[in-house]
Structure 1
Amino acid sequence: MPYDLGATVRLTAECQDPAGALTTADTATVTVTLPGGGTAAPVAEETALGTGRYLADYVSSVPGRHTVRWVFTGPADAYTDSFDVRPLAPPTILSLADAKRHLKLPPGRSDRDDEIRGWTESITRGIEGMCGPVVVRTVEERHEARRARSIALHHTPALELTSVTSVQPGGTGYAVDDLDLDPDTGLVRRLDGGTLTGLLQFVYTAGRPIVSANITAAARIIVQHLWRTTQGPGRPQLGTGDFDVTEPIAGFGYAIPNRALQLLEPDRLPPGVG
C-alpha cells in the first residue's frame, strides 16, 4: 500500500552469501531514487532480528514511485525494490470514515484502513472518468491557439481561471480579468471579442464544490461491491442483484455495478468527452 507523504518508510533487506545463507556484510548501503530524479541514502543497519537482516528508515518527501537499491559487499549481494508515496491530498469522494460506516466496520478497527483508502482513491478516479472532476483541484494544461475565438478546457466543471501564460519566449499571456470562463462547457473567451493566440498554459480550478447525493451514494455502492470481492466465497446474500455488472466502463472494466451506474447517469459525460 502507498505511504502518506511525510511518513517514515521502513526499508528492509537480507544479505546472503553465494550459498544462500544469511550473513553479516562488510558494508551495506541503500539508495532511494526519487520519482523526479535525485537520490537519498538513509543509514542501513543490521537489525536485532538475526544475522544478515538489515533495515533503514527513510522519511518520504515527494509523492510518486520510489526505487530502492541495496548493495552489500563481503559477500557481494544486491536487492532492488520499490514503494509508492501518495500525493499530499489525493482526491477522494468518500472519506475513510464514510466508507467504513457503509461497510459496517467498527470505528476502532484500523487493520484494513490502507486497503479501504486504496479503494476510495480508485473509485474516485473511475467516477471522475465518467462524470468529470468531482473533487476540487488545480489543473494545468497547454493549448495551442491560432487566432481562436475560444479555447475549450479539458476538465469541467471549470470553476475559476488562475492564470493564462505564454509558453513561448516573448509570447503574450492574458489577464484572467479580461477573460470569460463558462464553467459548464469550459470555454474561455476574451471579453473584448478578440482572439487568443500562441502556445498557452492554462491554470484553473475544476471540480464540484458541492458533491451531489447521487454521486456520493454511487461511490458507497462501488466501494461495497469491491469490498465484497475481497471477502471470499460465503453464504449467498439477498439483494445480490444490486451488484450485477453488465456494462464495462473504459478504464474501469466491470468494477462498477448497475445500480451505481444508474445513480451516476444524470452526471455522465457525453461519449467522447472527458
Structure 2
Amino acid sequence: MPFDLGATVRLTGECRDPDGTLASAATAVVTVTLPDGMTVTPAVTEDPDTAGKYRADYVTTTPGRHSARWVWTEPAAAYTDVFDVQEEAPPTILSLHDARDHLNLVSTKDDGELRFWNSATTRAVEYFTGPVVARSFTEEHAARDARAVVLHRTPVLTVTAVESVLTGGVTYAVDSLHVDRDTGEVIRLDGGRLTGRLRFTYRAGRTVIPENILAGARIILEHLWLTQRGNRGGLAGGGQDLSDPIPGLGYAVPNRALQLLEADRLPPGVA
C-alpha cells in the first residue's frame, strides 16, 4: 500500500548465498531511486538475531514510484523492489471515516488497504464525471491565432497561470482571460486571439459534491472492497450485482453506480 508523504519506510532485504541460505555479507548497500531519478543510500543495519537479514529506514520526501535496490558482496547477491508514496493530500471523494462507516468497519486495522481502494474508487468515478475532488492541473496547448483554447478537464474552478513554453513567447495575465467553467473554453476578454505554445495551470473539480456522486462512490467502493475478498461476504445491498461489462472499466463498476453518475457523466468523446 502507498506510504504517506513524510512517513518512514522500513526497507528490508535478505542476503542469501548461492545455495539459498541466509548469510552475513561483507558489505550491504540499499539505493533508493526517487521519482525524479535522484538516489539516496540510507544507512543499513543487520538484524542482530538473524544473520543475513538487513533493514534500512528511509524518510519519504517526494510523492510517486520509488525503487529500492539491495546489493551485497561476499556473498554476491542483489534484490530490487518498489514502493509508492502518495501525495500530501491525495484526492479522494470519500473521507476515510465515511468509507469505513459505509463498510461497517469498526476496527482501523484495515485502513491501509481501505485507503488504497478508496483512491481507486475516486479514479473510477472521475473516469465518468471528470474531476470531482478539486485540485491543480497543468497542460500545454498549441494556439495558432486561436479565438479560444479548450482545457481538458472540467468543471474549471479557476485558471492560475498561463505561460509561454518558448523563450520570448507571448504570456497572458489570468485577469485578462475568461474561462467557461463547464466547457473549459478560455478566451481573451478583449476579443483578441491566443497564440503560441502555452502552458495552462488551473484548478478543476467541484466545490460541492452532489449526493448522486457520493452515493455512486460508496457503491463502487463497497463493490471493490467485497468482491476482492472472495467468499467473505456479499454486498450489503443484497446479491453480488453481476453487471454487464462497462466499456473501459469492465466489471469494476456496478450498473447501479453508473446510473447514479449518469446525471454528471462526461459527454461522449470527452476524456
The TM-score range, normalised by the shorter chain, is over 0.9
User: After TM superposition, what 4+ stretches of structure 1 lie above 3 angstroms from structure 2?
Assistant: 234-242
Deviation string 1:211-233 (CA, Å, 9 cap, x unpaired) is: 00100011011111111113322
Contact 1:15 1:24 survives alignment (8 Å): yes
1:69-218 equivalence runs, <5 A: 69-106=69-106, 109-218=107-216
Deviation at 1:169, TM superposition (A): 1.1
Deviation string 1:244-264 (CA, Å, 9 cap, x unpaired) is: 3124141x2211111111110
1:9-88 equivalence runs, <5 A: 9-88=9-88
Query: How much identity, in percent, do the aligned residues show?
Result: 56
Task: Output the CA distance in 2 between the equivalents of 1:197 and 1:236.
Answer: 56
Deviation at 1:20, TM superposition (A): 1.7
SS in 1 for 2:99: helix
Task: Output the CA distance in 2 between the equivalents of 1:96 and 1:243.
Answer: 24
SS in 1 for 2:101: helix
Deviation at 1:48, TM superposition (A): 2.9
Task: Output the CA distance in 1 between the equivalents of 2:164 and 2:2.
Answer: 36
Task: Output the CA distance in 2 between the equivalents of 1:143 and 1:64.
Answer: 25
Deviation at 1:237, TM superposition (A): 7.1
Contact 1:242 1:259 survives alignment (8 Å): no
Q: Amino acid of the residue matched to residue 72 of structure 1?
A: W
Deviation string 1:175-208 (CA, Å, 9 cap, x unpaired) is: 1111111101110011111100000011111000
Q: Amino acid of the residue matched to residue 160 of structure 2?
A: T
- 1:266 matched to 2:263? The reply is yes
Describe the shift of the 1:203–1:2 C-alpha distance in structure 2 as closer, same or farther (beyond 3 A): same
Q: Amino acid of the residue matched to residue 170 of structure 2?
A: T
Describe the shift of the 1:195–1:104 C-alpha distance in structure 2 as closer, same or farther (beyond 3 A): same
SS in 1 for 2:23: coil
Q: Amino acid of the residue matched to residue 264 of structure 1?
A: L
SS in 2 for 1:125: helix
1:254 corresponding residue in structure 2: 251
SS in 2 for 1:261: helix
Describe the shift of the 1:97–1:147 C-alpha distance in structure 2 as closer, same or farther (beyond 3 A): same
Deviation at 1:76, TM superposition (A): 1.3
Deviation at 1:241, TM superposition (A): 5.1
Describe the shift of the 1:198–1:121 C-alpha distance in structure 2 as closer, same or farther (beyond 3 A): same
Deviation string 1:40-95 (CA, Å, 9 cap, x unpaired) is: 10111101341111100011110111111111112111111111111111110011
Ranges in structure 1 where 5+ consecutive residues have no aligned partner: none
Deviation string 1:12-64 (CA, Å, 9 cap, x unpaired) is: 11111222211111111111111111101011110134111110001111011
Supply the RMSD in Å over aligned alpha carbons.
1.5
When structure 1 is superposed on structure 2, of 235-244 and 135-144 the one drifting more is 235-244
Ranges in structure 2 where 5+ consecutive residues have no aligned partner: none
Structure 2 length normalisation: TM-score? Answer: 0.96
